[in-house]
Structure 1
Amino acid sequence: MLPTVVIADKLPEDIYGSLLDEAGISFADGTRGDLEALLADNCKGLIVRSKPQVTAELLSKAPYLLIIGRAGTGTDNIDLEAATARGIIVENTPSANTESAADHAMALIYALSRNILGADASVKRGEWERNRYLGTELSGKNLGIIGFGRVGRGVAVRGKSAGMNVLECDPFVDPKVAEELGCRTVGLDELLRASDYVSLHSSLSDENAGMIGKAEFEKMKPAARLINVARGELVDHDALYEVLVSRKIAGAALDTYDEEPYRGKLTELGDLVILTPHLGASTVEAQRRVAEQVTRQIISYIKEGRIENAVNVSIVAPEVKPFASLVERMGYAAGKLAQGPINSVELTCYGELAEVNVRGISTYGLVGLLTEKVNLVNIVNAREIAEGRGIEVSEGTSSAEVDYRSMVCLRVSQTNGEQIILNGMLYEKRGPRIVGFNGYDIEFKPEGTILVTYHEDKLGIVGYIGTTLAKHGINIDTTSLSNEAIEGRKVAVFRINPPASEDALAEIANKKIGIYDVRQITLAPPTSLL
């Protein structure tokens, strides 16, 4: 009996049908028949978009299911925990919609600049009001792009072709990426004040939810327009309503919302705002591209066991897997310590670890590095997110001798020329340890809240820090001090509980007695391992 793939959402049949036929795999249309019955009948693969809810109960009716392919990016409609528990791989297609999303953003910019929707409706009402719908040219105007990943860069190229001056703001992208496209990197405040059009293309995270609100709107020009085809939660819709009603900005165009379908009060504003029903990926080309990509991935796994774009599967060799948690913690620590945009990440393995296939281990470092900077980073999308921010990633091995059976070195380079270098190793019983930091030999456990200090190599420094922490009611669980001084300075790492207040940190950073830098970071446990 041939394996079967069930297509549970509307996709171009001429695409998936021909590919599956060629591979010797049968298919069934899950949009017409009894989905549960189809899943029970030798179904090895399931393809969905966003509508079908793939629940634990539904998966229990699919005893032969090996893989779920999401024709798109988000997997909110799939119970990943249930799929993982049943050994079912879940894959998505994260890059198929880039061109369509960039096109849609640019179409909204054009529509705003020439009042196209309002003028169209006016003519259809029997009116002929040319003066009312006087537009503006795009050439020479400033286009501000917040979030300079794949879609943001696509909009930049389109804006440049229209003669616009493009400004970009993305703290995780090397300014050289923008420079190569003829764009200028600026801070958020400057972008908001200077731009005639502000287009959002950021990933959503806890840190940037509501990033465009009342304070940001007040910085924008009265003639400015806002465009959002990224995530609805980036914009405070109540604040947007108020500035549109009061004419503090000239207009807005939205394709995404904090709740969908959107039924909010922006629908009452007529020509002041353009609202589209999440159409960024809704083009013939994008749908055909996503259908082809997801079908090829399903075939690759069923026929060859090859995994691509998996969202719930570890990708490293079994011998390397124990080091994944360590590398993620090292990446997380480096991300907390970095004080500027990052342009490269390099991971090198030494000792016994250098003798095995370490392919993919750097992905875990990227997960840690990007956690809290972008939403939903995992072992599947971490590399793509890094690439979208202009971060060069390399991994390899070295035959150089080290003091440990196996060691990994993570080197994170920032655009300001500074580097963060962490060495890590695993004790068989004691677990992961950082054993080197920026050239210093120092050992500490990468968990909890730690205080890192740079100070002169002289007596009394560690005592002063301990006394100050105690004064502020802070316990020291462990203390680690670098073995040797470098240029007369040492590093100390204190694992503390509870975290130190700003007042305590300011008191510790006493340059008069030789303490030159104090940094506090909380190292969360690894999130990507299953």
Structure 2
Amino acid sequence: MPKVLISDKMDPKAAEIFRARGVEVDEITGKTPEELKAIIGEYDGLAIRSSTRVTQEILDAATNMKVIGRAGIGVDNIDIPAASAKGVVVMNTPFGNSITTAEHAIALMFALARQLPQADASTQAGKWEKSKFMGVELTAKTLGLIGAGNIGGIVAERALGLRMKVIAYDPFLTEERAIELGVEKVNLETLLARADFITLHTPLTDQTRNILSAENLAKTKKGVRIINCARGGLIDEAALKQGLESGHIAGAALDVYATEPAKENALFGTPNFISTPHLGASTTEAQVNVAIQVAEQMSDYLVSGGVTNALNMPSLSAEEAPRLKPYMALAEKLGSLVGQLAHGPLKSVAIETEGAAAELNQKPITGAVLAGLMRSYSDTVNMVNAPFLAKERGLDVREVRHDREGDYHTMIRVTVNTDEGDRSVAGTLFSDAAPRLIELFGIKVEADLVGHMLYVVNEDRPGFIGSLGSLLGEEGINIGTFHLGRRAAGGEAVLLLSIDDNAGPDLLNKVKALPGVKTAMALAF
């Protein structure tokens, strides 16, 4: 039974879902990093919110870890490259708190437009400063969205309902999607010049860090109001303070900060500044939703292999996983075979699919091929970290689908390029869904790839099979299955034998000494 640790406070429904799905779960919150390191090795999964920091040191101690689930969107408290290198899937729940965060941005926009916090504080202090708090209407104003993904799209929908005009800057926003959202797609320069209100809805990356820099803030329309409920670090906070104090920026509302918890910040006390303590996801509904989603996603992965909302591997639904499982097994065996047989450094790998395999999600198949192929480089390789290992080594990976009818109802071919040229293997699934090799380096050969195997390339001549069988018998090696293929009569032949024990160096040397043998290798699957 898989075992999961919930290390941050989470709605009780998460634990209920884990247990209902057959996953053992412990709820242990508030641990220091050292305390967490001491226990994390027991667990296959870790469910967190924003408090737990999953560092390289924590991952090194997580010897059984398979998946980390973040109940929420932001994952800057997880070392994703380190998790990927270790083969750990990292998931988040990008949709569970989308509405809540979008509504918080709209609420802050209203608060800025009508100076609600300041008016509330003044009135409760016994003042009646009606004329001091002159606001502005949202109707007919231009809202500039920096980021038009899921949350940005919801903000756009709400803003259009308020009769605002919405313009959006997002490098990934297509014209079709912009029309669907009812927004005008613009570049950043245009947005800064035209927007009366700016809201940010983008992750924090090297490209977005300080996207509202001092330079860009200076390009904004005089009297602009800025809202950030996305991630701290998107705005140069010192430059924002200067803009507020100079009056160029009419108001700003932040829910997120470059350093959190933000118990001190230079912006605090600045005129026309509103702050909230990272409340974007803080509604009862959102807390329940993200807890349910992270538990469902992690359970799917641990129990059935389904992958949803992963940040470091392709998605694979729980429904897809059973159908893809035999194809992934075939792909991994083919990758392992060509990896063991190819000599010299690998330059590129091509994964070709034909027939039924070509209709499937290709990314898991590619991941499985690379996992088998890279096993000679790492004994901890899996579908998650194999693409990263391949990229580290400069391996060019290509996927090719063939829309054609072949000799088999489904086929996967793996071709690697080395200094010695291309090496290609192909396989299929028989009616029992068992992976079978059907071609090896251009030679037709039908074989199961299981356990310990002996690979022999020899000249096709009478008596060779008897000589090899006699040698193995003398060495006490029992043959399980015997597979033979050849290019043409009297030409080059290939033998694949499954044997009960590993073929050691002494045995391989004796096989190589047989007349006509060109190559002899031990394989393992």
Q: TM-score range by the shorter chain?
A: 0.5 to 0.7
Name the SS for the 1:265 alignment partner. coil
Give, in whole Å, the separation in 2 of the partners of 1:77 and 1:245: 33
**Match of 2:198, SS?**
strand
Equivalent-residue separation in structure 1 for 2:352 and 2:43 (angstroms):
45
For 1:143-222, list aligned pairs within 5 A.
Answer: 143-222=143-222
User: Structure 1 residue 5 and structure 2 residue 4: aligned?
Assistant: yes
Structure-2 separation of matches of 1:250 and 1:256: 19
CA contact under 8 A between 2:145 and 2:168: conserved in structure 1?
yes
The offset of 1:407, in angstroms, is: 12
Q: Structure 1 49/185 Cα, relative in aligned 2: closer, same or farther at 3 Å?
A: same
Match of 2:269 in 1: 268
Spell out, residue by residue over 1:285-315, the C-alpha distance to the aligned partner (whole angstroms, 9 max, x if none).
2211110011112222332233333344467
Q: Indicate which of 403, 418, 428 corresponds to 1:398.
A: 403
Q: Distance between the aligned counterparts of 1:202 and 1:90, measured in 2? A: 19
Q: Is the 8 A contact 1:169 1:191 kept in 2?
A: yes
Asked if the contact 2:3–2:23 (Cα under 8 Å) also holds between the matched residues in 1, the reply is yes
- 1:91: Cα distance to partner? 2.6
Q: Which moved more, 1:231-240 or 1:142-151?
A: 231-240
Tell me how far 1:209 sits from its aligned partner: 2.8
For residues 64 and 189 of structure 1, the distance between their equivalents in structure 2, rounded to whole angstroms, comes to 48
**TM superposition shift of 1:129:** 0.5
Q: Report the AA paired with residue 6 of structure 2.
A: I
Say if 1:354 and 1:399, in contact at 8 Å, map to a contact too: yes
Q: 1:5 to 1:160 in 2, by over 3 A?
A: same
- Name the aligned partner's letter for residue 231 of structure 1: R
State yes or no: 1:356 paired with 2:357. Answer: yes
Counterpart secondary structure, 2:131 = coil
Secondary structure in 2 matching 1:233: coil
Give, in angstroms, the shift of residue 267 of structure 1: 0.8
Q: Could you state the TM-score of these two structures normalised by the residue count of structure 2?
A: 0.59
Cα distance change, pair 426–191 in 1 and its aligned pair in 2 (3 A): same
* 1:431–1:78 Cα change, 3 Å: farther
Would you say how many aligned residue pairs link Structure 1 and Structure 2? 359
Residue identity matched to 2:238:
D
Tell me if the contact between 1:320 and 1:353 (Cα under 8 Å) persists in the aligned partners. Answer: no
Inter-CA distance 395–116: structure 2 relative to 1 (3 Å threshold) = farther
Aligned counterpart, 2:25: 27
Change (3 A) 1:39 1:426: closer
CA distance in 2, matches of 1:28, 1:129: 54
SS across alignment from 1:96? coil
Query: Is residue 315–residue 360 contact of structure 1 (8 Å, CA) maintained in 2?
Result: no
Report percent identity of matched pairs.
Answer: 37
- 2: CA distance between counterparts of 1:155 and 1:291? 23
1:354-433 equivalent positions in 2, closer than 5 A: 356-357=357-358, 359-361=360-362, 397-399=402-404, 427-429=417-419
- How far off its partner does 1:197 sit? 0.8
Residue 509 (structure 1) aligns with: none
Aligned with 1:28: secondary structure? strand
Partner of 2:508: none
Per the alignment, in what secondary structure is the counterpart of residue 303 of structure 2?
A: helix
Cα gap change, 1:264/1:130 in structure 2, threshold over 3 Å: closer, same or farther? same
Letter in 1 for 2:267: L
Aligned-partner SS, 1:110: helix
In the alignment, which residue of structure 2 is the partner of 1:286?
Answer: 286
Amino acid at match of 2:293: Q
Query: Which sits farther off after the overlay, 228-237 or 76-85?
Result: 76-85
CA distance in 1, matches of 2:87, 2:352: 33
How many Å separate the matches in 1 of 2:400 and 2:202?
27
Question: Is this contact kept in 2: 1:105–1:227, CA < 8 A?
Answer: yes
Instruction: Assess if the C-alpha contact under 8 Å between 2:50 and 2:77 holds in 1.
Output: yes
Say which of 12, 15, 18 aligns to 1:17: 15
* Greater Rg over alpha carbons, structure: 2
Q: Do the aligned residues in 1 keep the contact of 2:354 with 2:405 (CA within 8 Å)?
A: no
Q: Give the aligned partner of residue 239 of structure 2.
A: 239
Amino acid at match of 2:14: Y
8 Å contact kept, 1:320–1:361: no
Matches of 1:138 and 1:189, distance apart in 2: 22
Determine helix, strand or coil for the equivalent of 1:267: coil
**Structure 2 letter corresponding to 1:399:** R
Q: For 1:90-138, what per-residue CA distance to the aligned partner results, in whole angstroms no more than 9, with x for missing partners?
A: 3322332221221111111010111100001111211110111121221
Pair 1:206–1:20, CA change in 2 (3 A): closer
Q: Which amino acid aligns with 1:269?
A: T
SS of the residue aligned with 2:253? Answer: strand
Give a deviation string over 1:327-370, Cα, whole Å, max 9, x none: xxxxxxxxxxxxxxxxxxxxxx99656673574447999xxxxx
Q: Distance in 2 between matches of 1:152 and 1:278?
A: 17
The structural deviation recorded for 1:72 is: 2.3
Q: Is the 8 A contact 2:357 2:412 kept in 1?
A: no
Is residue 97 of structure 1 aligned with residue 97 of structure 2? yes
Q: Counterparts of 2:206 and 2:178 in 1: how far apart (Å)?
A: 25
AA aligned to 1:398 is D
Change in 2 beyond 3 A, CA 1:289/1:210: same
Q: Secondary structure at the match of 1:250?
A: strand
Per the normalisation by structure 1, the TM-score is 0.59
Cα contact 1:350–1:400 (8 A) shared by 2: no
What letter corresponds to residue 101 of structure 1 in structure 2?
T
What's the counterpart of residue 248 of structure 1? 248
1:67-106 aligned at under 5 Å gives the runs: 67-80=67-80, 83=83, 87-106=87-106
Q: Per-residue deviation at 1:183? A: 2.2
Q: Supply the distance in 2 between the matched residues of 1:173 and 1:246 (Cα, whole angstroms).
A: 34
Structure 1 partner of 2:133: 133
Partner of residue 526, structure 1 = none
Is the 8 Å Cα contact of residues 8 and 29 (structure 2) preserved in structure 1?
yes
Structure 2, unmatched stretches of 5+, are 317-327, 336-349, 367-383, 386-398, 423-525
